[in-house]
Amino acid sequence: EGDESGHSIVWYRLGQHKTLDPEAYFRALLNTLDRAIGDNLKRSNNKIGKYNCVLDGSGFQLNRMPSLKDVKHGLNMMQDHYPDRLGMIMIVNMSRVGEFLLKLIVPLISKEVREKIKLVPHNPQQRMEMLEALVGKEFIPDYIGGTSTYFPDQATYYPKNFHFASEAEGREYMTTMPYHGYD
């Protein structure tokens, strides 16, 4: 989602996910980024191809995340596949534990990507000012303090003839996609 000339926006809610299979988790994330880049290329007539990411740390817990080794591997995959596609990452609602963890992870990230990461203040007014500058007031979700109540609905998003993969088909796809494999 985004405007015609701006970068696509990926909204990612860290506290909503539990990593059971790190390889599948990061491959699904890469697939989401591919779709955001494709959306932006389509809207910009193949001129831009970038995305911004808003990471919402609400509900984040250490026991829901991949191991540090898996995080490092995932970061390497993203840096290898999308070196110039990232516009900015804004991190909102990060807990103290999340902020501590971020300090451990940031050294694993390239300097170019580190400069694109912004930790949004907890102050509601400052948070809204930063988010409005990135996405526009009408697109900020209500769970972050905005007014948008949009929630993706499979029935309206996917065409009626869309094939939903079975769990087995999904696992096969996730393990055969051409991304970095684990050693």
At 6-50, the pLDDT tens digits run 889 998 888 887 788 888 888 888 888 888 999 999 998 988 899
State the chain's mean pLDDT as an integer: 82
Rounded to an integer, the average pLDDT of 114-123 is 90
Local confidence band at 158 (pLDDT 50, 70, 90 cut-offs): low
pLDDT of residue 165: 72
Q: What is the mean pLDDT of residues 120-139?
A: 88
Per the CB < 8 A criterion, the answer to whether 33 and 77 are in contact is no
The yes-or-no verdict on residue 3 having pLDDT over 80 is no
Q: In what order do the strands lie in the sheet with 117-119?
A: 8-13, 51-56, 86-92, 117-119
- pLDDT for 96 equals 85
* Mean of pLDDT values over 95-116: 87
Task: Choose between 156 and 147: higher pLDDT.
Answer: 147
Cβ atoms 101, 71 nearer than 8 A: no
The pLDDT value recorded for residue 78 is: 80
- What confidence category does residue 161 fall into, taking pLDDT thresholds of 50, 70 and 90? confident
